[in-house]
Amino acid sequence: MDAEFWHSRWSAKEIGFHQEQGNPLLKAHFSQLALSAGDRVFIPLCGKTKDIAWLLANNYRVVGAELSEIAVKELFAELGVTAQVKPVGKLLHYSASNIDIYLGDIFELNAEILQSVDAIYDRAALVALPFAMRCKYTQLLKDISHHAQQLVICFEYDQSMHDGPPFSVTKKELHNHYEEHYTIACVERITVAGGLKGQVKAEEVVYLLRPEVDRP
């Protein structure tokens, strides 16, 4: 899976992963991150998620990374704000009050560009990537965020029944990626109504990842 796959999805408006009302699991569990107004939340592979508007409305600052220019432009248009745009390394930095979005390959993002974040909200990033890229991606997040706490939403289903994305990410896999530096708690597990894309039985699972500060 390469960048062209996602560019073609956005160009063709094949964005079934986009939730017009935002994700109810974010609203149900975000308070467990115990953030304060003004804290900064990183959303990798953010698309134009309505969750950004919800976070901004609740007085959080948002930083995102997104590959699709279409998604980024539509995000700012739907927020009703005009972005300032400037190049940062191989990325384009779109910014407005309390929001920074980096357009381009997320693997071009580093800690210096990202700057400090208080939490990561991962709803559609980890599950969007095939396994080999998930390993690289989770290492990137740990490195650039300095092991910031995370709210992660995954899907679990029989991967042989559906090619993905979204891919199935099991509890075991999540622990393999993160348990060295985090305490991991499953905070909710729900059945996907009608199955994943109406094709396969699936569960949506919410995890809270707390950094273990004493670990290497």
Binding residues: 10, 45, 66, 123
Chain centroid to Cα 185, Å, comes to 18
- Identify whether 44 is preceded by a cis peptide bond (ω within 30 of 0): no
Residue 119, class by beta-carbon neighbours within 10 Å (0-12 exposed, 13-18 middle, 19+ buried)? buried
Other Cβ atoms less than 10 A from the Cβ of 5: the count is 11
Cα–Cα distances in Å, from 77 out to 52, 53, 91, 209?
13, 12, 20, 32
Annotated binding-site residues for S-adenosyl-L-methionine read 10, 45, 66, 123
